């Protein structure tokens, strides 16, 4: 009798499991609001993009994008928690729901946009793959790298692009792959490999971490397109729009010349109709996105516009000293362009 | 009139056999149902989120380079080929590691039982040190602190202009097939067959007449003579390519990359420490009466150990030894930390990331490890049965 009871109990439990419906995708915003914070996937330590500073706080342009999303949703840029992910776990972490948004210098490609159940919400940084070599080798161009040993991070588009480039130019190379960018940099320093390859922004960032940065030079060639941007899960249009328009809001603010210092005054007394719409003084554009009216004001006040964020993390005042280049606004020589808020 | 259990015709829950059947059937339904539910749930969720599933990705072109591949590989080969290369690299490390760890483990285990105080203590220190440090740390130590601190290729240690040791690995002369290769292979096979026949004949003669036969020397002579004759007739089987430094790296010849060397060395040393303890406990399990009896027959240390003690100790040694071999096979996956392209870092790392199909890739990887482990287990169990003492 006891065995019968146990069996029945177990069978009922199984039936109950079956009756529970699958978690609906499309509820990320609700889940985030209920949690009270945005869970953001960032890298395991890339200066300029997402790296812990001396106090352990994650700083960088990718981290700031997540803070901007939190500022838009909650009005408070500190309501964000960071998960540091390496290149192998980043997509499964997003697919499984462990993070709400992946802002981890991830390249936008068709296979990632289509076959993985994920969508890219914009481009934070237009980049390309380059090579970092020791000046001692006396190499001045990527075409002289025949037979070199190259350190690459495993599972990145860099692996594929380097392979294509060398094949197309009839050159040979030996790849050594690592899980984290730090390990690859360490191997370059020890001489295990001749060349370190990655997105050029990463090369500048890694070079600044080496013991003797002036001994290394980034070769002039850029061998591929690497648009880096935030990623969210497919099927959740609401959340997708929020992340997308957060990035656009930062760009629009820079285009309009609104900075973190001037945004509040501008919001109260602007005469410019575009700015009025952007900052919520006119119209209900925030409501369309299910965000509060002053969502752009909060983003710009607490995090900054795109130019401020770029300068703070990657610009001339940092060790990286990266030029705006392609990442300048469309009317300033670059290709960053945001659709209007109206 | 009398109610005899077992004589009842109808199905009744009072009958223990009926109950047993009922619960077994229900359990099977439950287990199968759970399995089907999990599978179906996963499929539905994957479809719902737009994540592609299925095994078609194995035909897609890989597009990336691999540092060490035992079979020919170009970047346009498929992911399936990448999987095979990763598998071969894992098996290579496992195979070499098992052999070396067993040899080293036996030596250390016997050393720990030596009456010589110095050898005894050295062996103890070895076991205690290497057993207690996590394997990943040992691998990282060998790789970063030893192999990577070797000089670069331009300053490599040069042995005879043929072997070069640098932080790019051990470069050695490589064999390339020449005319006499396939006849040589046939000759080696013939030599092995001849040796097997000779051993059978020698054992039979020994069992019948007690006359010993120089098995070892005759076997060696056959092994040298038959292939040697073939090489003379058909030409050299291989010609050697010496590595030469060109530009960045050595070109030509074979290379053992430092990742492979570090991984094999670390795993060998780590597992040997465990095997030493297993061997020691196996030898101690043989009753001292056996040693005394062997001594009283006039056998010295070496033959006693080899012919009397160890065959009996093997019964105790083999089962835990199997576990250590399985541990070594699985610990080889720690290679991902140093970039050795074995199955986990290549297939469950790079391929998983490029295709995003985590479930299929991990399922394949787990199944393969399971298959490797079960094969090792089966092999050792067969060997165990063969050497088991048949008690009367």
Tell whether A50 and A75 lie within a shared domain. Answer: yes
Instruction: Read off the pLDDT of residues B245-258 as tens digits, 9 standing for 90 and up.
Output: 877 788 878 888 88
Report helix, strand or coil for B34.
Answer: helix
CB contacts of B46 in chain A (<8 Å) are 117
Number of domains in chain A: 2
User: What is the least distance, in Å, from the CA of A61 to any CA of chain B?
Assistant: 23
> Which of B37, B66, B354 minimises the CB distance to A18?
B37
Residues in A 213-252 with any Cβ partner in B closer than 8 A: 233-235
Tell whether A138 and A106 lie within a shared domain. Answer: no
The CA distance from A66 to A81, in Å, is: 9
The CA distance from A73 to A32, in Å, is: 9
User: What is residue A20's predicted lDDT score, i.e. its pLDDT?
Assistant: 38
Domain annotation covers residue A19: no
Phi and psi at residue B15, in whole multiples of 5°? Answer: -80, 120
A181-203 burial, b for 16+ CB within 10 Å, e for fewer?
bbbbbbbbbbbbbbbbbbbbbbb
Element (H, E) at A81: strand A80-84
User: What is residue B15's predicted lDDT score, i.e. its pLDDT?
Assistant: 86
Instruction: Read off the pLDDT of residues A242-284 as tens digits, 9 standing for 90 and up.
Output: 999 999 999 999 999 999 999 989 888 888 888 888 988 888 8
User: What is residue B3's predicted lDDT score, i.e. its pLDDT?
Assistant: 53
Comparing C-alpha atoms, which of B69, B93, B91, B92 is closest to residue B81? B69
CB–CB of B318/B285 below 8 Å? no
Give the model's confidence band at A7: pLDDT under 50 very low, under 70 low, under 90 confident, else very high: low
User: What is residue B2's predicted lDDT score, i.e. its pLDDT?
Assistant: 53
Residues in A 98-157 with any Cβ partner in B closer than 8 A: 111-112, 114-118, 137, 145-149, 154-156
Owning domain of residue A81: 28-126+227-331
Residues near A220 by beta carbon (within 8 Å), at least 6 away in sequence: A141, A142
User: What is residue A309's predicted lDDT score, i.e. its pLDDT?
Assistant: 95
Q: Is the pLDDT of residue A25 over 50?
A: no
Q: Where are the domains of chain B?
A: 1-46, 83-150+259-387
Interface confidence (ipTM) of the complex? 0.70
Q: Is the pLDDT of residue A13 over 80?
A: no
Tell whether A292 and A165 lie within a shared domain. Answer: no
The CA distance from B114 to B120, in Å, is: 6
The CA distance from B134 to B270, in Å, is: 9
Q: Are strands B157-159 and B163-166 parallel, antiparallel or unpaired?
A: antiparallel
* % of chain B beyond a pLDDT of 90: 39
- Which residues lie across from A59 on neighbouring strands? A51
> Which of B46, B49, B75 minimises the CB distance to A163?
B75
Mean pLDDT over residues A179-198, rounded? 84
The number of beta carbons lying within 10 Å of the beta carbon of residue B11 is 11
**Quick one: closest CA in B to A109, which residue?**
B354
Instruction: Read off the pLDDT of residues B122-160 as tens digits, 9 standing for 90 and up.
Output: 999 999 999 999 999 999 999 888 888 888 887 778 888
Architecture of domain B83-150+259-387: Orthogonal Bundle (1.10)
Q: Is the pLDDT of residue A52 over 80?
A: yes
Interface test with B, best of A106, A185, A191, A234 (most B CBs within 10 A): A191
Comparing C-alpha atoms, which of A225, A171, A166 is closest to residue A200? A225
Q: Which residue has the tokens 């945005």?
A: A38
Comparing C-alpha atoms, which of A292, A269, A291, A289 is closest to residue A281? A269
**Quick one: closest CA in A to B75, which residue?**
A163
The CA distance from A81 to A99, in Å, is: 9
User: What is residue B6's predicted lDDT score, i.e. its pLDDT?
Assistant: 52
Mean pLDDT over residues B168-184, rounded? 81
CB contacts of B67 in chain A (<8 Å) are 174-177
Comparing C-alpha atoms, which of B68, B86, B197, B148 is closest to residue A187? B148
User: What is residue B337's predicted lDDT score, i.e. its pLDDT?
Assistant: 80
User: What is the least distance, in Å, from the CA of A322 to any CA of chain B?
Assistant: 29
Residues in B 116-135 with any Cβ partner in A closer than 8 A: none
Q: Give A328 or A115, the one with higher predicted confidence.
A: A328
CB–CB of A4/A12 below 8 Å? no
Instruction: Read off the pLDDT of residues B211-234 as tens digits, 9 standing for 90 and up.
Output: 877 888 888 888 888 888 888 888
User: What is residue B307's predicted lDDT score, i.e. its pLDDT?
Assistant: 83
Distances (CA, A) of A291 to A69, A271, A339, B140: 10, 24, 18, 49
The CA distance from A67 to A248, in Å, is: 14
Tokens matching residue A1: 């009798």
Of A5-19, A96-110, A167-181, B360-374, which range is least confident?
Answer: A5-19
CB–CB of B244/B250 below 8 Å? yes
Tell whether A236 and A327 lie within a shared domain. Answer: yes
Instruction: Read off the pLDDT of residues A134-153 as tens digits, 9 standing for 90 and up.
Output: 888 888 888 888 888 899 88
Among residues A199, A224, A249, the one where a domain terminates is: A224
Tell whether A68 and A210 lie within a shared domain. Answer: no
Domain annotation covers residue A13: no
User: What is the least distance, in Å, from the CA of B148 to any CA of chain A?
Assistant: 6
**CATH number for A156:** 3.40.190.10
CB contacts of A14 in chain B (<8 Å) are 30, 33-34, 37
Report helix, strand or coil for B25.
Answer: helix
Residues near A20 by beta carbon (within 8 Å), at least 6 away in sequence: none
The CA distance from A245 to A241, in Å, is: 6
CB contacts of A174 in chain B (<8 Å) are 65, 67, 249
User: What is residue B308's predicted lDDT score, i.e. its pLDDT?
Assistant: 87
User: What is the least distance, in Å, from the CA of A205 to any CA of chain B?
Assistant: 22
Tell whether A102 and A246 lie within a shared domain. Answer: yes
Mean pLDDT over residues B69-94, rounded? 90
CB contacts of B362 in chain A (<8 Å) are none
Q: Is the pLDDT of residue A12 over 60?
A: no
Residues in B 316-355 with any Cβ partner in A closer than 8 A: 336-339, 341, 345, 349-350, 352-355
Residues near A97 by beta carbon (within 8 Å), at least 6 away in sequence: A23, A233
Give the model's confidence band at A23: pLDDT under 50 very low, under 70 low, under 90 confident, else very high: very low
Mean pLDDT over residues B369-389, rounded? 87
User: What is residue B163's predicted lDDT score, i.e. its pLDDT?
Assistant: 84
Give the model's confidence band at B164: pLDDT under 50 very low, under 70 low, under 90 confident, else very high: confident
Domain annotation covers residue A1: no
**What average pLDDT does chain A have?**
87
Tell whether A218 and A235 lie within a shared domain. Answer: no
Domain annotation covers residue A39: yes
Residues in B 238-267 with any Cβ partner in A closer than 8 A: 246-249, 251, 258-259
Domain annotation covers residue A66: yes
CB contacts of A160 in chain B (<8 Å) are 63-64, 354
> Which of B19, B50, B339 minimises the CB distance to A234?
B50
DSSP state of A78: T
pTM greater than 0.90 (yes/no)? no
User: What is residue B9's predicted lDDT score, i.e. its pLDDT?
Assistant: 58
Q: Which residue has the tokens 């020449």?
A: B178
Comparing C-alpha atoms, which of B46, B33, B252 is closest to residue A233? B46
Mean pLDDT over residues A59-66, rounded? 95
User: What is residue A18's predicted lDDT score, i.e. its pLDDT?
Assistant: 43
Element (H, E) at A24: none
Q: Is the pLDDT of residue A193 over 80?
A: yes
Tell whether A184 and A263 lie within a shared domain. Answer: no
The CA distance from B83 to B362, in Å, is: 12
Q: Give A329 or A147, the one with higher predicted confidence.
A: A329
Q: Taking CB atoms and an 8 Å limit, are B41 and A160 in contact across chains?
A: no
Does residue B24 belong to the interface with chain A, where contact is any CB pair within 8 Å?
no
3-state class percentages of chain B: helix first, strand second, coil last, to nearest 5: 70, 10, 25
Tell whether A218 and A237 lie within a shared domain. Answer: no
A48 sits in the region (left: phi over 0; alpha: psi -120 to 50; else beta) called: left
DSSP string, B284-307: HHS-HHHHHHHHHTT--HHHIIII
Among residues A186, A207, A224, the one where a domain terminates is: A224
Q: Which residue has the tokens 């870092």?
A: B345
Tell whether A250 and A197 lie within a shared domain. Answer: no
User: What is residue B240's predicted lDDT score, i.e. its pLDDT?
Assistant: 81
Q: Taking CB atoms and an 8 Å limit, are A174 and B75 in contact across chains?
A: no
Q: Give B324 or B336, the one with higher predicted confidence.
A: B324
Domain annotation covers residue A74: yes
Q: Give A324 or B46, the one with higher predicted confidence.
A: A324
Tell whether A233 and A215 lie within a shared domain. Answer: no
Q: Give A104 or B177, the one with higher predicted confidence.
A: A104
Of A34-38, A317-321, B49-53, B388-392, which range is least confident?
Answer: B388-392
Give the model's confidence band at A3: pLDDT under 50 very low, under 70 low, under 90 confident, else very high: low
Q: Are strands B244-246 and B249-251 parallel, antiparallel or unpaired?
A: antiparallel
Distances (CA, A) of A213 to A188, A267, A327, B305: 12, 44, 24, 61
Tokens matching residue B258: 């430092």
User: What is residue B46's predicted lDDT score, i.e. its pLDDT?
Assistant: 81
User: What is residue A58's predicted lDDT score, i.e. its pLDDT?
Assistant: 94
Instruction: Read off the pLDDT of residues B15-59 as tens digits, 9 standing for 90 and up.
Output: 888 889 999 999 999 999 999 999 899 888 888 777 777 888 888
Best mean pLDDT range from A20-29, A162-171, B352-361: A162-171
Domain annotation covers residue A338: no
């Amino acid at each position: 009798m006891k065995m019968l009871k146990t069996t029945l109990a177990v069978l009922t439990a199984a039936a109950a499991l079956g009756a529970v419906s699958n978690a609906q995708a499309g509820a990320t915003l609700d889940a985030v609001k209920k949690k009270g914070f945005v869970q953001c996937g960032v890298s395991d330590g890339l200066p300029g993009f997402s790296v812990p500073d001396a106090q352990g706080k994650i700083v960088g342009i990718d981290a700031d994008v997540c803070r901007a999303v939190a500022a838009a949703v909650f009005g408070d840029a500190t309501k964000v928690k960071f998960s540091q992910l390496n290149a192998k776990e980043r997509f499964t972490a997003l697919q499984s729901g462990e993070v709400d948004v992946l802002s981890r210098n991830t390249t936008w490609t068709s296979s990632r946009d289509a076959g993985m159940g994920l969508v890219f919400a914009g481009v934070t940084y237009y980049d390309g793959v380059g090579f970092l070599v020791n000046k001692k080798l006396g190499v001045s161009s990527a075409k002289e790298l025949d037979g070199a040993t190259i350190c690459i991070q495993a599972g990145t588009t860099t692996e594929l692009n380097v392979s294509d480039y060398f094949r197309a130019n009839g050159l040979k190379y030996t790849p050594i792959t690592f899980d984290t960018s730090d390990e690859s940099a360490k191997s370059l320093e020890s001489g295990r490999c001749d060349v370190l390859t990655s997105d050029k922004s990463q090369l500048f960032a890694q070079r600044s971490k080496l013991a003797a940065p002036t001994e290394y030079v980034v070769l002039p060639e850029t061998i591929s397109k690497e648009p880096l941007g935030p990623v969210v899960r497919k099927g959740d249009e609401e959340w997708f729009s929020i992340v997308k328009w957060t990035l656009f809001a930062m760009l629009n603010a820079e285009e309009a010349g609104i900075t973190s210092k001037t945004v509040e005054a501008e919001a109260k007394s602007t005469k410019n109709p575009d700015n009025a719409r952007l900052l919520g003084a006119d119209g209900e554009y925030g409501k369309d996105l299910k965000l509060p009216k002053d969502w752009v004001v909060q983003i710009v006040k607490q995090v900054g516009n795109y130019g401020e964020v770029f300068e703070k993390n990657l610009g001339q005042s940092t060790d990286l000293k990266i030029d705006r280049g392609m990442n300048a606004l469309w009317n300033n020589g670059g290709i960053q362009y945001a659709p209007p808020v109206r | 009139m009398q109610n005899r259990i077992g004589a009842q015709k109808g199905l009744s829950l009072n009958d223990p056999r009926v109950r047993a059947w009922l619960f077994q059937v229900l359990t099977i339904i439950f287990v199968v149902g759970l399995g089907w539910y999990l599978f179906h749930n996963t499929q539905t969720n994957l479809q719902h989120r737009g994540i592609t599933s299925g095994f078609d990705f194995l035909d897609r072109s890989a597009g990336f380079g691999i540092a060490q591949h035992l079979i020919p590989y170009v970047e346009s080969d498929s992911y399936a080929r990448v999987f095979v290369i990763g598998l071969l690299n894992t098996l290579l490390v496992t195979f070499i590691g098992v052999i070396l760890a067993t040899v080293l483990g036996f030596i250390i285990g016997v050393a720990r039982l030596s009456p010589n105080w110095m050898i005894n203590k050295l062996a103890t220190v070895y076991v205690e040190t290497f057993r207690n440090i996590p394997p990943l740390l040992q691998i990282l130590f060998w790789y970063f602190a030893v192999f990577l601190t070797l000089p670069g290729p331009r300053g490599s240690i040069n042995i005879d202009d043929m072997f070069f040791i640098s932080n790019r690995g051990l470069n050695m002369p490589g064999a390339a097939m020449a005319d006499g290769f396939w006849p040589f292979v046939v000759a080696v096979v013939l030599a092995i067959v001849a040796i097997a026949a000779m051993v059978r004949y020698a054992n039979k003669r020994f069992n019948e007449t007690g006359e010993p036969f120089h098995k070892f020397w005759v076997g060696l002579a056959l092994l040298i003579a038959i292939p040697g004759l073939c090489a003379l007739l058909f030409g050299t089987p291989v010609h050697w390519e010496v590595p030469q430094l060109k530009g960045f790296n050595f070109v030509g010849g074979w290379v053992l990359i430092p990742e492979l060397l570090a991984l094999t060395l670390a795993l060998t040393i780590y597992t040997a420490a465990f095997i030493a303890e297993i061997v020691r406990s196996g030898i101690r399990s043989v009753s001292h009466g056996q040693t005394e009896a062997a001594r009283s027959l006039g056998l010295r240390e070496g033959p006693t150990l080899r012919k009397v003690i160890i065959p009996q100790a093997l019964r105790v040694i083999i089962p835990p030894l199997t576990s250590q071999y399985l541990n070594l096979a699985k610990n080889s996956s720690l290679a991902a930390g140093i970039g050795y392209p074995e199955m986990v870092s290549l297939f469950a790392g790079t391929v998983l990331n490029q295709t995003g199909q985590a479930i299929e890739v991990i399922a394949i990887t787990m199944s393969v490890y399971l298959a490797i482990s079960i094969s090792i287990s089966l092999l050792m169990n067969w060997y165990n049965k063969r050497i088991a003492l048949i008690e009367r």
